[in-house]
Structure 1
Amino acid sequence: MNHLTINQTIKISKATLMLFISFFGLLMLYSNFTDYPTNYEYIAHILSMDTTREGARYSYRAVTSPMAHHRIYWLIITLEVLFTVFCMVGTYHLYKNINTSTKKFHEAKKFAIIGLMIAVFIYYVCFQIIGAEWFNMDESPYWNYKDWARHIVDFIIPLLIYLTLRIER
């Protein structure tokens, strides 16, 4: 009879959590490609700063060019594609190495770590830092991604820590 060890359970949990974040990435991409106008509208309002309380005070920060809005949105989509692909490849490598040595399993984490770091860049640096601090999106009652992005980061950072820790024996 095959007994599941704690080591295998930890490996499976890490691979499964990566599967969850990969699934999120796929849903995010599906939304961006199938509902481009709605998501673009969010980005355009955030960059234009047209719905912030103190828009006039910080209006020099606004990006009002529709062409720039599209380019920035496509940059975000490209980063989300990279994040999702790296996470999916990382998930595959983790599942593939569940029954290998601890060293091989640990080495299999590299694509997952890269994917999670790209996600941190998107949802923390781009949305929470640049979006909220530079474009004041947190002051907009309607066009505000700050809380949404924070929830994603609140999952990604602990996952990144858990994944990188070498607790498998």
Structure 2
Amino acid sequence: MIFSSTDQLIRVSKALLMAFFSFFGLLMMYSNFTDYSVNHEYVAHILSMDTVSDKVRYSYRAITSPMMHHRIYWAIITLEVIYTLYCLLGTYQLFRTINSSAKDFHEAKKFSIAGLLIAIFTYYVCLQVIGVEWFNMDESTDWNYQDWARHIVDFIFPLLVYITLKTER
């Protein structure tokens, strides 16, 4: 692929990285809808805290209602759908303005930024902070999303920084 300048390559890289993350969001949505029972089981065990080492000590934190397990899982799915839609729209906007002025390209980043912020909320706040710190998810050997969520955040946060940088001229 031949690029007219480094600035053009940077723009293309931002749009492509957003496309990659949008693809991840689509796969997450597909997985959550087609493997609902498997993923719901994970959420139910984490919320119930039934596999943590000191469950008696922390049992007041547990949510054992199956209805609440479904509602919380649907809240997570909803967040994933929303961030994916924002990221897809952001990807489209970046590709649409790839040859526009620096100002127009920079303004086209807003949907991408919003989508990435929602994704950070989903994987960092909901899974890592609440899942690990409140529901002690990290203590479970079988029902633990901590490392998985950390790997996603380890991609999202630098991507957010990269996308927001105004390096285009």
**TM-score, normalising length: structure 2:** 0.98
What is the CA distance between 1:161 and its match in structure 2?
0.1
Query: Is 1:67 the counterpart of 2:67 in the alignment?
Result: yes
SS of 2:80's partner is: helix
State the Cα deviation string for residues 129-167 of structure 1 (Å, max 9, x = none).
000000000000000000000000000000000000101
> Counterpart of 1:13 in structure 2: which amino acid?
S
Q: How does 1:17-96 map to 2 (within 5 A)?
A: 17-96=17-96
- C-alpha separation in 1, matches of 2:51 and 2:33: 25
Specify the alignment match of 1:107 in structure 2.
107
> Counterpart of 1:37 in structure 2: which amino acid?
S
- C-alpha separation in 2, matches of 1:141 and 1:4: 51
> Counterpart of 1:82 in structure 2: which amino acid?
I
SS of 1:52's partner is: coil
What is the CA distance between 1:3 and its match in structure 2?
5.1
Gaps of 5+ in 1: none
Specify the alignment match of 1:148 in structure 2.
148
SS of 1:54's partner is: coil
8 Å Cα contact 2:7-2:168 kept in structure 1: yes
Superposition RMSD in Å: 0.8
SS of 2:166's partner is: coil
> Counterpart of 2:127 in structure 1: which amino acid?
F
Report percent identity of matched pairs.
68
Quickly say closer, same or farther: Cα 1:159–1:143, change in 2 above 3 A: same
Gaps of 5+ in 2: none
